[in-house]
A = this chain, B = another copy of it.
């Protein structure tokens, strides 16, 4: 079992990584309040893990809420179903929410915890690789709006994150590969040696070799915990975590969140960010090639869907949270492992890259 620490003063919490955590009676008890529990999950994860988690929590006073699976349900309407459940059971501020599932369940349940009675406790139990290495850590919670992804949300840190690596065994290949996109991101923004390790071990990782998996998850979580501790509310350095996301969110919004997975959109977005970085004279052509090769080897897309044009991109990117004062802020790369957040780049380079996809 590995234990990492997100250092945020009174809001600090552990990330616990191990096999069989969901069946271990010692997992939840130290982090539960006295006001009962609501486990929120979706109809894909529920048949796999819900009864096990409820048994492990062991509280007599444990409710369950099973939501439909999919990014298209990450809405205010679905959020209100969580409030319905809590209020029908007369839950007070002592309740603890447990988010059992992928990024959608984690973001939505976390936002419900942020808002219910102006803030209650919650625990993240991510069951997808993407949620384990990214969305479950750091306290960003949100739902989508038809005009933009994650536009309605809050910063609300969990009390703990439990990553049971056994849950990855049941993850479909496409979802697993989508999670690899965020793992590659950490190499690109923070750790050249990790990027090189990924180049050497991508096949073993795709084969879900357990040792490789734990190394990838632990390294990703450690890098994320460090960035979040330095800049909880994204007033500065935290924005590097958005590498590829301004492009990726535009792709997802253009598709109505229904076609590509988040990790797939981010993979294509990272290649676009690398190409813009090269076009403005920062990243070498060789490094763009390495990045494209690793993402290709992972089985992820390296270009956006054919039906999204340059004007779609620019319009959708302009409303992204990274846009300020009228200019689109981007995370670009000086080199692999060395990101820069900037609005001060050659707009023509951005247009050139977007029109040649």
Contact = CB atoms under 8 A, between A and B. Distances in A.
A231 to B, nearest CB: 13
Number of this chain's copies in the assembly equals 2
5 contacts: A90-B319, A92-B321, A115-B153, A117-B321, A118-B321
Interface stretch (A42-50, A143-151, A259-267, A287-295): A143-151
Nearest to A327: B92
A92 B324 contact: yes
A142 interface: yes
Interface string A107-131: 0000000111111000000000000
Interface in A321-340: 321, 323-325
Nearest to A75: B80
Contact of A324 (B93, B116, B119, B152): B93
B147 A118 contact: no
B115 A152 contact: yes
A59 interface: no
A136 B196 CA distance: 54
A88 interface: yes
Contacts of A115: 115, 152-154
A137 to B, nearest CB: 16
Contact of A35 (B35, B93, B324): B324
Closest 5 CB pairs of A and B: A87-B147, A90-B319, A118-B153, A117-B321, A115-B152
A67 to B, nearest CB: 16
Interface in A78-121: 79-80, 83-84, 87-88, 90-94, 114-119
A140 interface: yes
A323 B148 CA distance: 37
**How many residues of A sit at the interface, in one of the four size bands?**
35 or more
B87 A151 contact: yes
A118 B154 contact: yes
A119 B115 CA distance: 13
A140 B154 contact: no
A35 B117 CA distance: 30
Contacts of A153: 115, 117-118
A346 interface: no
Contact of A80 (B76, B91, B93): B76
Given A140-B118, A151-B117, A145 B83 contact: yes
A80 to B, nearest CB: 6
A34 interface: yes
A318 interface: yes
A28 interface: no
A153 B84 CA distance: 15
Contacts of A92: 319, 321, 323-325
B76 A147 contact: no
Contacts of A114: 154
A155 interface: yes
Nearest to A319: B90
Contacts of A151: 83, 87, 116-117
Nearest to A140: B118
A139 to B, nearest CB: 10
B93 A321 contact: yes
Contacts of A35: 324-325
A145 B140 CA distance: 24
A195 to B, nearest CB: 29
B154 A154 contact: yes
